[in-house]
Structure 1
Amino acid sequence: MNQDQNIKNRQALSPYKLAITRYIRSALALKGMKYDDLSAALNQKGITMTPENLRSKTHKGMFSADLFAAIIDVLGLEETALHEILKQTKDA
């Protein structure tokens, strides 16, 4: 892939990253959770992530698909997450 296509891909994916970041942050706030709590919840599933690492990944919107699915699972948002994230990208 050439550099121009790489830049175009990043630009095209930017609304998705932003929507995921906003969604995770707002979900944590609405549930009264902090990154420490999210880290502990993931740890109960055998996934070790520091709160700082989770905060960094959320800030950058850089999640692997499996980590994103695990976060949605531990937050109990599997029914609404994808719909809400895609809605935000369309509203942008």
Structure 2
Amino acid sequence: MNQDQSIKNRQALSPYKLAITRYIRSSLALKGLKYDDLSDALNKRGIIMTPENLRSKTHKGMFSADLFAAIIDVLSLEEDALRDILKQTHNV
């Protein structure tokens, strides 16, 4: 893939990154949780991530698919996550 296409891909994926970032931040806030709580919940599943690392990944919207799925799982958001994220991408 050439650099031009790579830039276009990043631009096309940007609304999804933004929606995921907003969704995780708002879900934590609505549940009254902090990144420390998310880190602890992941730790109980054997996934060691510092609160600072999670905050950074969330801020950048840079999640691997498996970490994103684990976060959705520990926050008990399975039912609504994808629908809500996709809805946000259509509104961006």
TM-score range with shorter-chain normalisation? over 0.9
Q: TM-score, normalised by structure 2?
A: 0.99
Residues 18-75 of structure 1, C-alpha deviation per residue, up to 9 Å, x if partnerless? 0000000000000000000000000000000000000000000000000000000000
Q: Unaligned regions of 5+ residues in structure 1, if any?
A: none
Percent identical residues: 85
TM-score after normalising by structure 1: 0.99
Tell me the number of residue pairs that the alignment of Structure 1 and Structure 2 aligns.
92
Structure 2, unpaired ranges of 5+? none
The runs of at least 4 consecutive aligned structure 1 residues that moved more than 4 Å come to: none
Aligned to 1:2: 2
Distance 1:79 1:34 in 2: 21
Q: In the aligned structure 1, how far is the partner of 2:78 from the partner of 2:45?
A: 16
Question: Who is 1:37 aligned against?
Answer: 37
